[in-house]
Amino acid sequence: MKKNDNFCKNQHVNVEKRDHETIIYIVGDFDNATTPMVHECCKTIQKDDGAKRIVLDLKDAGRVDSSAFACIINYIKEHKGSAAEISVANLPDRAAELLHILKIEKIIHATRASSHPPDSARPREEKNA
**Is 90 contained in some domain?**
yes
Does some domain include residue 121? no
Q: How many domains does the chain have?
A: 1
**Considering the domain boundaries, does residue 125 fall inside one?**
no
pTM of the model: 0.77
Residue 127 maps to a domain: no
Q: Give the domain extent around 22.
A: 3-115
Q: CA 26 to CA 10: how far, in whole Å?
A: 10
CATH number, domain at 52? 3.30.750.24
Bridge partners, residue 78, by sequence = none
Domain presence at residue 123: no
Q: What is the pLDDT of residues 48-107, one digit of tens each?
A: 777 788 999 999 999 999 999 999 999 888 877 766 788 999 999 989 998 889 889 888
Q: Is 129 a member of any domain?
A: no
